[in-house]
């Protein structure tokens, strides 16, 4: 229940977000490798992109994440779109995303 400035101010939370972003980047890059077997493109997201995005977020005007907005407005959370689909996509290319899986299970349990 926090805005971006509150999330970025907590070093433990910021580290957790960095871990989650790194897992997603790793899975996305694995998908690029998987798909590039069919195409000539091998464009990867640099792993330091997570830190760059966190630094940029720290400098931005505080805002509520889309999931927080849904929660605040009493709407269903987009658990599958935001967490479930990336977990399943990572599994399809053999990438382990343990922190994303844990968060997915926690949010899914809380939103039921």
| Structural domain boundaries in the chain | 4-111
pTM exceeds cut of 0.95 = no
- Check residue 37 and give its pLDDT: 72
Token pair belonging to 47: 């792993």
What pLDDT, in 10s, does the model give residues 60-112?
Answer: 999 999 999 999 999 999 999 999 999 999 999 999 999 999 999 999 998 87
Q: Which residue has the higher pLDDT, 111 or 39?
A: 111
CATH code assigned to 4-111: 1.10.1040.10
- Check residue 81 and give its pLDDT: 96
Residue 68 CB contacts under 8 Å (≥ 6 apart), including other chains: 1, 2, 3
């Amino acid at each position: 229940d926090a805005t971006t400035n509150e999330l970025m101010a907590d070093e433990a939370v910021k580290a957790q977000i960095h871990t989650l972003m790194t897992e997603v980047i790793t899975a996305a890059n694995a998908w690029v490798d998987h798909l590039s077997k069919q195409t000539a493109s091998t464009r990867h997201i640099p792993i330091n992109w997570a830190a760059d995005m966190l630094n940029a977020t720290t400098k931005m005007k505080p805002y509520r994440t889309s999931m927080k907005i849904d929660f605040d407005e009493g709407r269903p959370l987009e658990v599958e779109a935001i967490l479930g689909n990336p977990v399943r996509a990572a599994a399809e290319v053999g990438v382990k995303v343990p922190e994303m899986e844990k968060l997915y299970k926690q949010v899914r349990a809380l939103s039921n």
